[in-house]
A and B are shown apart, each in its own frame.
Chain A
Amino acid sequence: MTKKGRMALAGYLFLLPNLLGFLVFTSLPVLASLALSFFDWDLFTPPRFVGLHNYAKLMSDHAFWYYAFNTVFLMLAIPVNMMGALFLAVVMNRKLRGIVVFRTIYFVPTIVTGVGTYLLWRWIFNPDYGLINTMLHAVGIEGPKWLQSIAWAKPALMLMGFWTAVGGNNMILYLAALQGVSPELYEAADIDGANKWQKFWRITWPMVSPTTFFILTMSLIGGFQGGFEQAMVMTGGGPAGATTTISYYIYNHAFLWNHMGYASAIAWVLFAVVLETTLLNWRFGGRVVHY
């Protein structure tokens, strides 16, 4: 065998285990789910081809639109979380003793987020015995019913999300971006007599804009797909569907009600939204981001 042939063979062999897994658990399932979205199937009776019916049904499915609204509503927290992360990064971007300790502490909520902390926050939001209402009561305020209230359930989840995310990955990314800004820019601004705000808006903000753009894109992509795990543990999607997101709706159709075809159709609509977000961000980002 030639040297080239041997190398090609070695390449395929090295790739083989991963490629097999990739084909069986990713590539084929993607095609299968697209195909499924044109069928009606409950896993027990033979699948029935229904063409575009699942997609048409989705357009007039009021529940779907309400859950889409919930998903977008929860995403309103994204800019707030990002501002918090940038603020923390600016405060931390100084050569101070013990800064690493703070960074570690701020990161802990991100690390531990999962079923364990969802249980914790369910307890924190308990209207009668929870941490928040106990503290509000101590200063004379009767707190709302939080997770049990249609109006307050979403803000409660957003509050938890802020705690989870503010000191995590985004702060680290902002911190790295701030450390890349040349100190000479600030020195020049000092000479020109610029104040703190001017320095922030004229130097810091434009210089970190690629990071802002990256975080925003990733948060939007995550946001459209998010909301299942926390709602599953904390609210069961309620009250009255107030915390059900698109991903939760897919779960219900697929794994509670055995609507494999309809669930696949929703998943593909979600995929299209995510893809479109990525493309839009790409095109739009080129114009507003200062590199």
Chain B
Amino acid sequence: MTGALRARWLVPSGAGIAALVAWEAVVRLRGVPPYILPSPTLIVHTLWINLDSLLVSWWYTVKITFGALLLALAGGVLLACAFALSRWLELALFPFAVALQVTPIVAIAPLILIYVDSTTASLLICAFIVAFFPVLSNTLVGLRSADPNLQDLLTLYGATRWQRLRWLLAPSALPYLIAGLKISGGLALIGAVVAEFAAGAAGRETGLASRILEASFRTEIPKMYAALALVALTGVAIYLASNALSRALLGRWHPSERNRD
């Protein structure tokens, strides 16, 4: 048990460190110039020098990401509940949701930027559009997959709609919602960054995408890598956080979490 647990942390971090060491070695031994491929130590150094401006941008991207994720969670769950209650509503609105989902966000972003005055609001909308579909479709499946015998039992005891939602539908949908959230967390970050690329580096408050664009205009490759590293680390942190949430909420009863070491 402890061995398996240790392996779950040691193996991926060991592999990560090995890759970084190999990267550093290749850059140093071959003398690759930093404007082609900077070494990991140089990236860390660049990150350290530009820490203030990068952290401000990072915080802005994080705010957009989590704002969009919260909106996606609220919107997706509410819409899924409405669809679960009304088949007509689902038939009428689901095609819109699918159309929004399958249209690439880079293609929609310029329009949203034209229609919406505030850049921050446009970025939020873009990230929301990307993030909300997995929450919606997963929660809908979850609401529909409640045990029919338990449904009958609640009918037999004369449960109200609200009681049915609270005691049966919401807990049945939770594992599905969390699976959707795991996908949406990453998508919200992607949406936030991609939309900012479409918006271009403008305005006073800007996120990591603007730093990457800026650095690319000036061919400051190490700085591009530094900003990129922050995006990647944030994505990994979101992934780990959603896994922890899943364990905390489902750990004791759901097979997806119970059967793990």
Chains A and B bind each other = no
Chain B interface residues (CB < 8 Å from chain A)? none
Chain A interface residues (CB < 8 Å from chain B)? none
